[in-house]
Amino acid sequence: MIMVGAMAAVLWIIGVVMKVPNAVRWNMMVILLVGVMLLHVILPDGHPLRMATGGDARLWAILFGFGFLIWGYRKILLQLKVRAAEAQALPTKTDSFSETELERYARHIILREVGGMGQKALRDARVLVVGAGGLGAPALQYLAAAGVGTIGVIDDDAVENANLQRQVIHLDRNIGMPKVQSAAEAMKAQNPFVTVRPYHRRLTADIAADLFADYDLVLDGTDNFDTRYLVNETAVQSQTPLIAAALTQWEGQISLYDPSAGTPCYACVFPTAPDPSLVPSCAEAGVIGPLPGVIGAMMAVEAIKRITGAGEGLGGRLLLYDALYAQTRSIAVKPRSDCTVCQGRGAKS
């Protein structure tokens, strides 16, 4: 016993002198103990080395087991302390707003059209944003800043250098990071009181229905017609209000589609996708940097209005914005009885 203790002390002192980490030193103690136990198993009874190291392997086995229990207890205790510290660091959601939240949302609360009830509705709302690019970036930022309680974002792209001219939620250091993770990081940094659910994958027909079922409102900021039509079909089937926008070069458009409330669906207004040559992508045709910010912020405004019941939304109207000539106009749009998606369910009989 004395010899083993002396060896352990020597190993520990050597580790301290050499500035070996504590974990490595403890591993050395374990290796020493296991070696002693092996000696007791291999050597015959009465062997001098066995006698010098305690004489019985069971003694060391008990000591080893006792030490393992202490180590396990400390490990669990440390994990509980870490979780408790994390829980204290995170803001908690209660029925009432904290002083920090009241101060943060004060400019909303004093608005007659929003007030405390509207802010609570925002906190209770669940909004899904499809796309974390040009339109999704500002929409996500303003939804988080406004205190929307749960924000989902789905996108399968990664941040690229060419995105940073207009997708202002992403930072240069996040180039190569999935856009949903980059956006989630920025939103949580902006407002730790919101819950962000990032989905790093493409929206497909096999997951769309289940995903939409978790949300009250959907914002579509995608840049391709296949996804836009999928978003619209799923929104119609789940009776989820949809705010969809699009842009190119200097122009943008936005509307709210909710056939269950009497508006047309996206397919009523755009029954077929245009020829790709007529609608080039931003990479092909270019886009002025602040334009996605303007239209994306409009999407966030329409979402807040829809959630709080403030004002009049864009249901039944297509808003067009021409940044080059500083012109805005609104076009009335109606449900189509021959629409293959909503069957004109928003039309008045």
Catalytic residues: 282
Between CA 298 and CA 309 the distance in angstroms is 16
Q: Is 145 exposed, middle or buried (0-12, 13-18, 19+ CB in 10 A)?
A: middle
* Look-up of token digits 């900021």: 221
Q: Is 250 exposed, middle or buried (0-12, 13-18, 19+ CB in 10 A)?
A: middle
Tokens matching residue 130: 């499809």
**How large is the C-alpha radius of gyration of the chain?**
31
Q: Which of 319, 328, 250, 244 is nearest to 288 (CA)?
A: 250
345: number of Cβ within 10 Å: 16
* Look-up of token digits 């007791």: 40
Interacting residues of 50 by C-beta distance below 8 A, sequence separation 6+: 39, 40, 43, 44
